[in-house]
């Protein structure tokens, strides 16, 4: 149900079908999926692949849109890889209203700018917070715990992650 | 204005023990907590206020919503960085004499979450009188902390917490 | 750290009845917001014109914390993010890890997981009904509901040693087998609970105050519910029959027969009826789970994932090696990403895990039901009275730990 | 002649004494340390920066007025209720006329929609 020309790659990971799409035509892909019956956006989030040695990633930030078809009970995951500075992608809040807060949270924790989002401000962190905490190069923070080499590793930004 | 300024001005020789005992007894047995329920410990605080483990036996079941009528703040739950100024504001708006119980590991030390988002211990922004370990502590632990606080209030007498 | 960055509507707009709009702050420290939710409400006299939820006052950085914890340590954190249904969060995390590892838990573990999930759903609905009833004036509801909740917490303590955050359901199985005493308590509970639910219904269902405060309040049409991504009683209260336990069954739910509780009232009263019916269905499931409790192991016997039993440590050397490796470095999950959704008391709580083959997850995202349900707040409460706002916040049953993660 | 009023005098004195004791004791014994944040208005933990003095709709005033009218009406029942036996039928009819007039007013307000909010 998704137009073939948009799909870059398709596969199944641990039983979940996923589709990779170019970030430019994310709206077209989601629109065609929505017309195909996937009307519910389960969640939208981002994964930071800084220094991820397990597989080769086309870009650092992977945006994940999980859609569900309530009638046929199928799930599909649309992924888009973004890597500009600041990373930006089109907003889909008019296609799926729940995306409004999800995008604000992804902007707040990852710094992904969603173009023409009505109110792209921080939603979870205090308004004058500096930095985007869920990026891999952001230290876990908190207080240093004596005699715990684990925690020392958290303090410094994981250069090799 | 108040008797304790008078007492200090007379250099504390004046015998106020009986009055202090009466005031301490009065304050101790009617400690009204401000509802500061944040996370899981708040559910255990509600469970303490219900019939099973009755906090009313200690005169504290009137959980006041507004800080104006409260003299004890039970910080029950994890205090995030965004909530810290609000907690300090509510603490400031409580009339003296006021006490603070830090309920649970998250309020006392940040607990399981040692990361950027949590205030590692509420004693960084408000003076705490009694800490309760546990995540969440049992309702009986909260009553135990309340009894410890009551002894301390009775011992403080007129001057209240310094 | 000023909190005044918010743009509160300072304009004295004209209201419909000649007065100006008053901006009221249903702030984080409020007795009836079920946690630290802040709503900036524009009031025209008594009616609500605009609602702007502000969340984040309980943001605990759980997803960052899980990236710094090993796979088996994550259970401690998943307990605490939706603190009204800890075992159900653990179930989502455990199922996701097991799906990535490609292991299946034995049937007895599945049955124990179903028992703990239904007990949690009951205790979560009891807390909801106690606090929502209290807010709308039914003070005695709190006492009744928390009386049953305490019996459930005693059972939690009996089976896992902890009242609320049981950490009972772990990747690879469950913490410990249920003791005979647990089954006695469960049998007594299953016998009495329908009677208690009748008590709640006598108190509330035909109560004129409760009906006038909830009927017609917080209307959410089925299309709006689906479009806004609401799940759980918010969706089923509007007549949409969608329950993950029935439509996408997991951990053995397909061999229990129960109905999906729906109601076509599309308002607070409909959602109340849905939750009451769900409690009755939960007791039915518990009855079947106890009757058909299979025997056998309660954990996957994959030594890479779970420590060997203690008595083996004296005899076999490789048991000691497995034990040592597990508790120093932990096991590693093959690279990949997976999303598993489970039905919690509030709706669809899911866990999306991305693993890069090391012994720590690369990314864990919790799909939180209250996060989506809270977005329906504005649409439900437009042009209602301020007092109805309390009923609407109550019916959304948003647990702020689940919203802010 | 005034002896009959002595119990009332004692009652008033006790009330004033109790009130006086409570107020002065709490004023004397309670420490008072006013400072800026404590005196700021309490709005659920956030110090508001929006002016609270907004022009409100007239409906609030209307509702308040209606309440006062019917509340004061209730006060007139007390003296009648005390002397109901002595006044006999005359008192009853007088009271019914009084209630009837106010009932007509209530019906008028109800019809004109003064009670419902929209």
CA distance A41 to A99: 7
The CATH number of residue D88's host domain is 1.20.58.1610
Listed residue (B44, A40, A101, B53) closest to C405, CA to CA: A101
In C, which residues are within 8 Å of B81 by CB distance?
1, 59
Residue B17: pLDDT over 90: no
Sign, CA dihedral C335-C340-C346-C347, equals positive
In B, which residues are within 8 Å of C58 by CB distance?
38-39, 77-78, 80, 83
* Peptide bond connecting C401 to the previous residue in cis, omega within 30 degrees of 0: no
- For chains A and B, what is the number of CB pairs under 8 angstroms? 30
pLDDT at position A45, please? 93
Residue B14: pLDDT over 90: no
Please state the φ and ψ torsions of residue B159, each to the nearest 5 degrees: -70, -25
- Predicted TM-score (pTM) of the model is 0.91
Q: Do chains A and D touch (3 or more CB pairs under 8 A)?
A: no
- One-character DSSP codes across C144-184: HHHHHHHHHHHHHHHHHS-SS----EETTEESSPPPHHHHH
C25 and D44 in contact by Cβ < 8 A? yes
CATH class entry, domain A4-133:
alpha beta
Q: CB-based contacts of C175: which residues, under 8 Å, 6+ apart?
A: C160, C166, C167, C168, C169
CA distance C323 to C317: 10
Q: What is the pLDDT of residues C297-334, one digit of tens each?
A: 888 888 888 888 888 888 888 888 888 888 888 888 89
Instruction: Name the percent of chain C lying above pLDDT 70.
Output: 97
C7 pLDDT band (50/70/90 cuts)? Answer: very low
CA distance B122 to A46: 32
Average pLDDT of the segment spanning D63-75 = 91
**Any domain includes D40:** no
C99 and A15 in contact by Cβ < 8 A? yes
- Chain A neighbors (3+ CB pairs < 8 Å): B, C
Buried b / exposed e over C158-172, threshold 16 CB at 10 Å, is bbbebbbbbbbbbbb
Instruction: Name the percent of chain C lying above pLDDT 90.
Output: 61
Question: Which residue would you say has higher pLDDT here, C303 or B47?
Answer: B47
CA distance C213 to C225: 21
Listed residue (C174, C156, C177) closest to C165, CA to CA: C156
Q: Does D41 touch chain B (CB under 8 A)?
A: no
Residue C3: pLDDT over 60: no
Residues D26 and D69 placed together within one structural domain of the fold: no
**Domain limits for position C153:** 62-300+332-404
**Any domain includes C4:** no
Find the CB nearest C365 among A45, A52, A140: A45
The CATH number of residue C141's host domain is 1.10.645.10
Residue C18: pLDDT over 80: no
Q: Does D38 touch chain B (CB under 8 A)?
A: yes
Determine contact, residues C334/C356, Cβ cutoff 8 Å: no
Listed residue (C262, C253, C247) closest to C286, CA to CA: C253
Q: What is the pLDDT of residues B106-124, one digit of tens each?
A: 999 988 898 889 999 999 9
C226 and A70 in contact by Cβ < 8 A? yes
D16 pLDDT band (50/70/90 cuts)? Answer: very high
Listed residue (C163, C160, C162, C154) closest to C185, CA to CA: C154
Neighbouring-strand partners of residue A7: A21
Listed residue (C298, C281, C84) closest to C190, CA to CA: C281
Q: Does C150 touch chain B (CB under 8 A)?
A: yes
In C, which residues are within 8 Å of D56 by CB distance?
19-20, 22, 45
**Any domain includes B70:** yes
CA distance C142 to D111: 40
Find the CB nearest D44 among C18, C22, C27: C27
Find the CB nearest C25 among D48, D51, D57: D48
pLDDT at position A85, please? 83
Listed residue (A130, A57, C108, A43) closest to B116, CA to CA: A130
Residue D102: pLDDT over 50: yes
In D, which residues are within 8 Å of B23 by CB distance?
29
pLDDT at position C328, please? 86
The CATH number of residue B76's host domain is 3.40.50.12280
Q: Does B35 touch chain C (CB under 8 A)?
A: yes
**Any domain includes C111:** yes
Domain count, chain B: 1
Q: What is the pLDDT of residues C266-305, one digit of tens each?
A: 999 999 999 999 999 999 999 999 999 999 988 888 888 8
Residue A15: pLDDT over 60: yes
The least confident of A138-142, B30-34, C371-375, D103-107 is A138-142
Distance from CA of D7 to the nearest CA of B (A): 32
CA angle in degrees (0–180, nearest 5) for C73-C78-C84: 145
Q: Does B33 touch chain C (CB under 8 A)?
A: no
B89 and D46 in contact by Cβ < 8 A? yes
Residue C383: pLDDT over 70: yes
Q: What is the pLDDT of residues A102-160, one digit of tens each?
A: 999 999 999 999 998 998 999 999 989 998 999 988 888 878 777 777 666 666 655 54
Domain count, chain D: 2
**Domain limits for position B36:** 30-156
pLDDT at position A144, please? 79
CA distance D96 to D107: 16
Instruction: Name the percent of chain B lying above pLDDT 70.
Output: 90
Residue B39: pLDDT over 80: yes
In B, which residues are within 8 Å of D22 by CB distance?
none
pLDDT at position B148, please? 95
Find the CB nearest C1 among B47, B85, B113: B85
> CA neighbours within 13 Å on the CB side: how many for D32?
10
The least confident of A139-148, B52-61, C143-152, D71-80 is A139-148
Residue C74: pLDDT over 50: yes
**Any domain includes C82:** yes
User: CA C133, C134, C136, C140: dihedral to nearest 10 degrees?
Assistant: 70
Distance of CA C172 to the CA centre of its chain: 22
- pLDDT, averaged across chain C: 89
Find the CB nearest B116 among A140, A145, A151: A140
In B, which residues are within 8 Å of A140 by CB distance?
114-116
Find the CB nearest C64 among A42, A45, A134: A134
pLDDT at position A2, please? 67
In D, which residues are within 8 Å of B89 by CB distance?
37, 40, 45-47
CA distance A153 to B84: 27
Residues D109 and D62 placed together within one structural domain of the fold: yes
Q: What is the pLDDT of residues A63-84, one digit of tens each?
A: 999 999 988 888 999 999 998 8
CA distance C346 to C123: 12
**Domain limits for position D84:** 55-118
Average pLDDT of the segment spanning C400-404 = 91
> CA neighbours within 13 Å on the CB side: how many for C298?
14
**Any domain includes B13:** no
CA distance C144 to C197: 10
C148 pLDDT band (50/70/90 cuts)? Answer: very high
B161 pLDDT band (50/70/90 cuts)? Answer: confident
C189 pLDDT band (50/70/90 cuts)? Answer: very high
pLDDT at position C1, please? 31
Find the CB nearest D31 among B93, B94, B97: B97
């Amino acid at each position: 149900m998704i137009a073939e020309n948009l799909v870059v790659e398709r596969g199944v990971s641990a039983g979940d079908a996923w589709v990779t799409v170019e970030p430019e035509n994310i709206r077209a892909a989601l629109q065609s999926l929505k017309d195909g019956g996937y009307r519910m956006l389960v969640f939208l989030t981002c994964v930071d692949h800084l220094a991820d040695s397990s597989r080769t990633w086309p870009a650092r930030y992977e945006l994940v849109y999980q859609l569900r078809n309530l009638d046929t009970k199928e799930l599909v995951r649309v992924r888009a890889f973004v890597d500009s500075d600041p990373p930006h992608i089109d907003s889909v809040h008019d296609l799926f209203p729940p995306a409004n807060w999800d995008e604000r949270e992804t902007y707040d924790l990852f710094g992904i700018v969603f173009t023409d989002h009505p109110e792209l401000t921080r939603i979870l962190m205090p308004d004058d917070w500096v930095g985007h905490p869920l990026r891999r190069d952001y230290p876990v923070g908190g207080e240093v715990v004596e005699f715990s080499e684990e925690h020392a590793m958290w303090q410094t930004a994981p250069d090799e992650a | 204005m108040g008797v304790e300024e008078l007492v200090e001005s007379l250099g504390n020789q004046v015998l106020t023990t009986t009055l202090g005992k009466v005031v301490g007894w009065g304050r101790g047995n009617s400690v009204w907590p401000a509802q500061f329920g944040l996370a899981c410990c708040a559910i255990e605080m509600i469970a303490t206020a219900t019939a099973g483990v009755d906090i009313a036996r200690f005169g504290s079941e009137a959980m006041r919503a507004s800080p104006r009528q409260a003299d004890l703040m039970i910080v029950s739950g994890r205090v995030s960085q965004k909530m810290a100024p609000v907690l300090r504001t509510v603490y400031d708006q409580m009339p003296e004499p006021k006490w603070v119980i830090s309920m649970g590991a998250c309020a006392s030390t940040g607990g399981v979450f040692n990361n950027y988002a949590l205030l590692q211990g509420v004693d960084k922004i408000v003076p705490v009188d009694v800490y309760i370990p546990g995540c969440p502590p049992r309702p009986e632990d909260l009553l135990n902390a309340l009894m410890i606080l009551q002894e301390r209030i009775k011992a403080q007498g007129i001057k209240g917490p310094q | 750290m000023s909190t005044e960055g918010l743009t509160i509507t300072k304009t004295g707009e004209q209201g419909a009845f000649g007065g100006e709009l008053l901006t009221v702050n249903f702030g984080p420290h409020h007795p009836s917001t079920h946690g630290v939710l802040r709503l900036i409400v524009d009031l025209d006299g008594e009616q609500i014109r605009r609602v702007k939820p502000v969340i984040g006052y309980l943001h605990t950085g759980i997803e960052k914390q899980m990236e710094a914890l090993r796979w088996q340590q994550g259970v401690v954190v998943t307990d605490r993010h939706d603190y009204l249904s800890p075992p159900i969060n653990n179930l989502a995390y455990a199922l996701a890890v097991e799906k990535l590892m490609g292991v299946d838990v034995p049937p007895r573990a599945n049955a124990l997981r179903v028992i703990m999930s239904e007990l949690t759903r009951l205790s979560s609905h009891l807390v909801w009904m106690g606090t929502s009833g209290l807010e709308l004036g039914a003070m005695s509801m709190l006492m009744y509901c928390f009386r049953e909740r305490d019996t459930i917490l005693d059972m939690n303590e009996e089976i896992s040693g902890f009242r609320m955050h049981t950490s009972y359901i772990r990747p690879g199985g469950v913490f410990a087998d249920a003791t005979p005493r647990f089954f006695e308590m469960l049998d007594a509970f299953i016998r009495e609970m329908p009677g208690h639910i009748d008590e709640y219904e006598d108190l509330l269902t035909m109560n004129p105050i409760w009906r006038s405060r909830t009927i017609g309040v917080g209307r959410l049409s089925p299309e709006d519910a689906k479009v806004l991504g609401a799940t759980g009683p918010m969706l089923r209260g509007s007549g949409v029959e969608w329950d993950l336990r029935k439509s996408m069954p997991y951990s053995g739910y397909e061999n229990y027969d129960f109905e999906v509780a729906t109601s076509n009232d599309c308002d607070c009263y409909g959602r109340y009826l849905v939750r009451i019916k769900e409690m009755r269905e939960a007791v039915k499931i518990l009855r079947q789970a106890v009757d058909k409790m299979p025997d056998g192991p309660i954990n996957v016997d994959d030594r890479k994932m779970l420590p060997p039993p203690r008595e083996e440590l004296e005899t076999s050397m490789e048991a000691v090696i497995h034990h040592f490796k597990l508790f120093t470095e932990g096991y590693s999950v093959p690279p990949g990403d997976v999303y598993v959704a489970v039905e919690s008391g509030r709706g669809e709580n899911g866990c999306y895990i991305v693993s890069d083959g090391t012994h720590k997850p690369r990314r864990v995202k919790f799909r939180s039901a209250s996060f989506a349900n809270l977005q329906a707040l504005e649409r439900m409460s437009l042009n209602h009275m301020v007092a109805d706002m309390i009923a609407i916040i109550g019916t959304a049953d948003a647990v702020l730990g689940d919203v802010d993660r | 002649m005034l002896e009959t009023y002595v119990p009332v005098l004692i009652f008033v004195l006790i009330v004033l004494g109790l009130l006086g004791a409570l107020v002065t004791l709490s004023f004397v014994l309670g420490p008072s340390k006013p400072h800026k944040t404590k005196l700021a208005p309490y709005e659920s933990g956030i110090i508001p920066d929006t002016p609270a003095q907004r022009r409100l709709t007239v409906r609030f005033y209307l509702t308040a007025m209606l309440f006062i009218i019917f509340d004061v009406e209730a006060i007139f029942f007390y003296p009648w209720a005390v002397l109901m036996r002595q006044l006999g039928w005359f008192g009853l009819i007088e009271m019914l006329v009084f209630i009837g007039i106010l009932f007509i007013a209530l019906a008028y307000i109800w019809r004109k929609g003064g009670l419902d909010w929209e």
